[in-house]
Amino acid sequence: MQLTNLERALLRAANAFIQAYSESKETGQGVGSHAPQQTRQSAPTTTSNGIPVCSLHGKAMRPSKFKDNQYYCGAKLDDGTYCREKG
């Protein structure tokens, strides 16, 4: 049976996909599953009221219920966890 150029190209693409998929399962890192890099902003570090600002999100932090004079960032990240910045 003679394969056309298109069929050969599709077969090579399918084999490459299978190889990449099996490697991603072994390493635990899928293709395109890398978390986006968040850059720290050089924006203000506090608001006009003296409340710290999250260096990752640029939002005012929330006061802690458990520790006096402690603030935290309540922003939810793409992976479902919350930001761990404290001020």
> What tens digit of pLDDT does each residue of 16-62 get?
888 877 776 655 555 555 555 555 545 557 777 888 888 888 888 99
Residue 37's pLDDT is: 55
Burial status of residue 56 (CB atoms within 10 A of its CB: 0-12, 13-18, 19 or more): middle
What does each C-alpha distance from 84 to 12, 36, 66 come to in angstroms?
Answer: 44, 16, 16
pTM above 0.85, yes or no: no
67-82, pLDDT tens digit by residue? Answer: 888 999 988 888 889 8
Burial of 24 (0-12, 13-18, 19+ CB in 10 A): middle
Of 86, 77, 72, give the one whose Cα is nearest residue 38.
77
pLDDT confidence tier of residue 7, bands split at 50, 70 and 90: confident
Residues facing 71 on adjacent strands: 63
